[in-house]
Structure 1
Amino acid sequence: MAYRATGRRESEPITQELKVLLVEDSRTYALALSRRLETELQLPIVVCQSLNELHEVVTEDRAAFTLAVVDLNLPDAPRGEAIDFTVQRGIPTIVHTASFDIETRNRIMERDVIDYVPKDSAFTLETVVGTARRALGNRQTRILVVDDTSATRKLLAHMLKVQQYEVIEVASGDEALALLKDDPDIKLVVSDYYMPDMDGYELTRRIRREFASDRLRLIGVSSSSDRMVSVGFLKAGANDFISMPFIPEELQCRIASNVETLEQLEQLHSLASRDALTGLFNRRHFFANAGRLIEEAQAKKRKSAVAILDIDDFKQLNDSHGHDFGDRALANVARCLAQSVEGSGHLLARIGGEEFAILFPGVDAKAAMRLSDHIRLDVSHETLTVGGQQVTLTASIGVAEIDGAGNFDQQLIAADRALYAAKREGRNCVRLAG
């Protein structure tokens, strides 16, 4: 832990690794919180106990801090001067404070801080750590703001950027639809109601025709006092609604809630599409996505190929060395296969037992045979130790070309027949379907 107390020697090195800055005058509280932050965030923590020490540390290493957790009141900074210091230097800041009331809240929210956490419960440490983790995670979330009024759009974008989100701004529904088509990384859309080309309801309906709620969240906003505006957004397919003028805490909580919901849905989809033992895609995911990839290749006038891979003598190895060995063998081969196809665009899955399937979209039989032989060779370098004995793993592979004739099931059967031909011809080889 990079715990830094008053009186740091000038000879101490300044690391280039990003760190979290904790400003807290209570040694006991600072020690407890810094340990929790370091454990949860896996980043070094630098602790300052005064504004004077904060000046020294940040002046020497101003670009090294990815986040600051700052006490509102310090002995030499009783009015939040430490917060002003970190915010003005562009360090994203979370405030924690021992005293809290409306006046304190207003003092804090005058600054561009991520959030504030009162030290008023047994869960304060967990809350600070959770807020810090969320702020760092927000940097992976891209939000699209749609509003034809520049001032409102820029205000909302600024508030979201303070929360560490990546924000894109557009002034119309047409621009929003075009951007969503080209940018699959956008996770959330915040749209105004009154816009000249299409209102927020119509934009919401058009978005929902293309993107389900488990892929893209949508929040409507409006300054209208008509309560039916929120109803209109929700009926059109929005996930939430926020009235303007914005209350920063409400905006923060509603955005965070929708982002967290989307993350939870993505985790559920991942669990449903992954094999528990190997972490590879499962049979259902393979068959659900193979057709689309083949069609995309065919639209470009390109053939595809599919390979079925089977670990040689797996039943015998399993019976001889036990099921734990079999699980290790499957995990090792899966890791090897994943490394072999990483970044290639090929679809890899465990489709049952010791069988794996690889779809090569846009790759003809000759190229697929060459790739499959490289994969076979990679697997043959895998060894496992059991009872002091080294056991070498090998695999047989059958390949079939997909040229648009016949359905995918028939081509899988052809690849399976080629696999059994490889088994008959001595194993640890690749054969092409005739």
Structure 2
Amino acid sequence: MAYRSADRRHGPGDGDLTILVVEDSRTYSTALCRRLREDIGLPLVACRSLNELHEAVTDDRAAFTLAVVDLNLPDAPHGEAIDFAVQRGIPTIVHTASFDMDTRNRIMERDVIDYVPKDSEFALDVLMGTVARALANRRTRILIVDDVMATRKLLARMLKVQQYDVVEAGSGAEALSLLERDQDIQLVVSDYHMPKMDGYELTRRIRRQFRSDRLRVIGISSSNDRMVSVGFLKAGANDFISMPFIPEELQCRIASNVETLAQIAQLHNLASRDSLTGLYNRRHFFEQAGPLIDRARSKKRSSAVAIIDIDDFKRLNDNHGHDFGDQALKSVARCLAQSAEGGGHLLARIGGEEFAILFPGLDAKAAMRQSDHIRLDVSHEALELGEHKDGVTVSIGVAEIGENGSLDEALTAADRALYAAKRNGRNQVSLDTA
């Protein structure tokens, strides 16, 4: 039997990521697989020997996104299972029952993501965090800046093992050009000694364009002068690492800066969201709308705005209670989000039962068509809460933002159109033509 099919969990599609677990202890394997299912939620394949690992990977080498492998197995006492997984390009995390410096050195000789000792009651918690971080790292793009290709390639290789998306630059000027073109770069790792533009100057120029909550900078140097780290930090860097690298230190410092960015992004996201519906709030709408309109204008394209209001919302609250009203708001928000998804539109709840959508790059006619699709989608929703059942409809007012017009003027015009739709019977879209 190649592997226990009962341990495999298939998701909704053929493209699901799968984690490979290699552990000979039945008790520990059961606990580990249970935590992976609960915390990570990906399909699993569990093996208890090198032989089973051979057969599982031979079945489908490309099926595994990550492996969690025990260092010592009865038929692989010297880490052969790790070598097998790594050689087949499967990103690997090692877990081991015993740990000392010799064990550490044996593990770090291989290109593994990390190692987690089993020697504490928190071992599974640490392992879950390591797995989650390795999967998340793939969404993190790091720019390495060093004029010495050998050093640059070594660092790139170390970070790619950690599953980061890595891009490289051989000079400060090239780095600035990449940053201007690639908005997905979240972290810059820069050497100090570089011709024409050293690491200090590069860091200062980065800080003129990017705040620390958007882009982190880590300085690196092989210099024994401790003032080099001070120079980087004074220039605006967030951290400093001395070379030659200790892999675990590099890993922890990079991970700490990436985690800080994620926490900041989460706080920004919470501050910009409406707590009930999960849509963007009024403040975020007005902060983001202007740049989107300007971008469309730079491409000689119009924009339009729509205001959406739930029909007879007071009646829903009075007849069925405020919980039902909240359900109506969430249902409409869900419909709006689904209808506006993927179009580059800006959607927000701007107050009470009112929502707004900015359509950058769309003229009034196109925005009218999009709004009518939204109106129809909402009208097909049936609300049910306990014994209460009801339908919900919306009225929508649309206005185009003129070449020299402002968002405030367009919102006023859309508001007029909305009330025209209400006066004319509700559940319709009206365009302001004034």
TM-score range, shorter chain: over 0.9
Name the SS of the counterpart of 2:127 in structure 1: helix
Name the counterpart of 1:231.
230
Name the counterpart of 2:11.
none
Name the SS of the counterpart of 2:294 in structure 1: helix
Instruction: State the distance in 1 between where 2:399 and 2:101 align.
Output: 70
Name the counterpart of 1:300.
299
Q: Deviations over 1:205-240 (max 9, x none)?
A: 111111111111111111111111111111111111
Name the SS of the counterpart of 1:90 in structure 2: coil
Name the SS of the counterpart of 2:173 in structure 1: helix
Name the SS of the counterpart of 2:62 in structure 1: coil
Given that residues 306 and 414 in structure 2 are in contact (C-alpha distance below 8 angstroms), is that contact kept between their aligned partners in structure 1?
yes
Q: CA RMSD in A?
A: 2.0
Name the counterpart of 1:287.
286
Name the counterpart of 2:115.
116
Given that residues 364 and 401 in structure 1 are in contact (C-alpha distance below 8 angstroms), is that contact kept between their aligned partners in structure 2?
yes
Give the CA deviation at 1:160: 0.3
Change in Cα spacing, 1:44 to 1:295, as seen in structure 2 (3 Å) is closer
Name the counterpart of 1:262.
261
Instruction: State the distance in 2 between where 1:30 and 1:174 align.
Output: 51
Name the counterpart of 1:410.
409
Instruction: State the distance in 2 between where 1:417 and 1:59 align.
Output: 66
Instruction: State the distance in 2 between where 1:386 and 1:194 align.
Output: 66
Name the SS of the counterpart of 1:63 in structure 2: helix
Name the counterpart of 2:308.
309
1:391 is the counterpart of 2:361 = no
Name the SS of the counterpart of 2:61 in structure 1: coil
| Higher mean C-alpha deviation, range 299-308 or range 124-133 | 299-308
Give the CA deviation at 1:75: 2.1
Instruction: State the distance in 2 between where 1:79 and 1:372 align.
Output: 64
If the length of structure 1 is used for normalisation, what is the TM-score?
0.94
Name the counterpart of 2:356.
357
Name the counterpart of 1:63.
62
Name the counterpart of 1:11.
none
| Higher mean C-alpha deviation, range 45-54 or range 26-35 | 45-54
Name the counterpart of 2:95.
96
Give the CA deviation at 1:401: 1.8
Instruction: State the distance in 2 between where 1:376 and 1:18 align.
Output: 37
If the length of structure 2 is used for normalisation, what is the TM-score?
0.94
Name the counterpart of 1:252.
251
1:140 is the counterpart of 2:139 = yes
Name the counterpart of 1:431.
430
Q: Deviations over 1:360-388 (max 9, x none)?
A: 12222232222222222222222213565
Give the CA deviation at 1:19: 2.3
Name the counterpart of 2:75.
76
Which AA in structure 2 matches 1:74? L
| Higher mean C-alpha deviation, range 184-193 or range 243-252 | 184-193
Instruction: Specify every segment of 5 or more residues in structure 1 that has no aligned partner in the other structure, as ranges.
Output: 9-14
Instruction: State the distance in 2 between where 1:296 and 1:16 align.
Output: 36
Change in Cα spacing, 1:170 to 1:373, as seen in structure 2 (3 Å) is same
Give the CA deviation at 1:3: 11
Name the counterpart of 1:158.
157
Which AA in structure 2 matches 1:295? D
Give the CA deviation at 1:390: 4.3
Instruction: State the distance in 2 between where 1:34 and 1:413 align.
Output: 57
Instruction: State the distance in 1 between where 2:388 and 2:72 align.
Output: 65
Give the CA deviation at 1:64: 1.6
1:320 is the counterpart of 2:319 = yes
Given that residues 2 and 55 in structure 2 are in contact (C-alpha distance below 8 angstroms), is that contact kept between their aligned partners in structure 1?
no
Give the CA deviation at 1:333: 0.8
Instruction: State the distance in 1 between where 2:386 and 2:256 align.
Output: 51
Change in Cα spacing, 1:208 to 1:375, as seen in structure 2 (3 Å) is same
The residue correspondences of 1:208-227 to structure 2 (distance < 5 A) are 208-227=207-226
Q: Deviations over 1:62-88 (max 9, x none)?
A: 222211111112222222122111111
Name the counterpart of 2:368.
369
Which AA in structure 1 matches 2:110? R
Given that residues 303 and 403 in structure 1 are in contact (C-alpha distance below 8 angstroms), is that contact kept between their aligned partners in structure 2?
yes
Instruction: State the distance in 2 between where 1:252 and 1:100 align.
Output: 19
Instruction: State the distance in 2 between where 1:86 and 1:105 align.
Output: 18
| Higher mean C-alpha deviation, range 19-28 or range 333-342 | 19-28
| Higher mean C-alpha deviation, range 153-162 or range 298-307 | 298-307
Name the counterpart of 2:344.
345
Q: Deviations over 1:256-297 (max 9, x none)?
A: 111111111111111111111111110000000111111122
Instruction: State the distance in 1 between where 2:392 and 2:360 align.
Output: 27
| Higher mean C-alpha deviation, range 125-134 or range 40-49 | 40-49
Given that residues 320 and 388 in structure 2 are in contact (C-alpha distance below 8 angstroms), is that contact kept between their aligned partners in structure 1?
no
Q: State the percentage of identical aligned residues.
A: 75
Name the SS of the counterpart of 2:286 in structure 1: helix
| Higher mean C-alpha deviation, range 258-267 or range 373-382 | 373-382
Instruction: State the distance in 1 between where 2:245 and 2:44 align.
Output: 33
- Number of matched pairs: 426
Q: Deviations over 1:334-355 (max 9, x none)?
A: 1111111111111111000000
Instruction: Specify every segment of 5 or more residues in structure 2 that has no aligned partner in the other structure, as ranges.
Output: 8-13
Instruction: State the distance in 2 between where 1:405 and 1:147 align.
Output: 46
Name the SS of the counterpart of 2:280 in structure 1: coil
Instruction: State the distance in 1 between where 2:412 and 2:354 align.
Output: 13
Name the SS of the counterpart of 1:25 in structure 2: coil
Given that residues 397 and 430 in structure 2 are in contact (C-alpha distance below 8 angstroms), is that contact kept between their aligned partners in structure 1?
yes
Q: Deviations over 1:295-345 (max 9, x none)?
A: 122222322221111101101111111111111111111111111111111
Give the CA deviation at 1:422: 1.5
Instruction: State the distance in 1 between where 2:198 and 2:144 align.
Output: 14
Instruction: State the distance in 1 between where 2:315 and 2:409 align.
Output: 29
Change in Cα spacing, 1:241 to 1:397, as seen in structure 2 (3 Å) is same
Q: Deviations over 1:90-135 (max 9, x none)?
A: 1111111111111111111111111111111100111111111111
Name the counterpart of 1:49.
48
Given that residues 5 and 49 in structure 1 are in contact (C-alpha distance below 8 angstroms), is that contact kept between their aligned partners in structure 2?
no
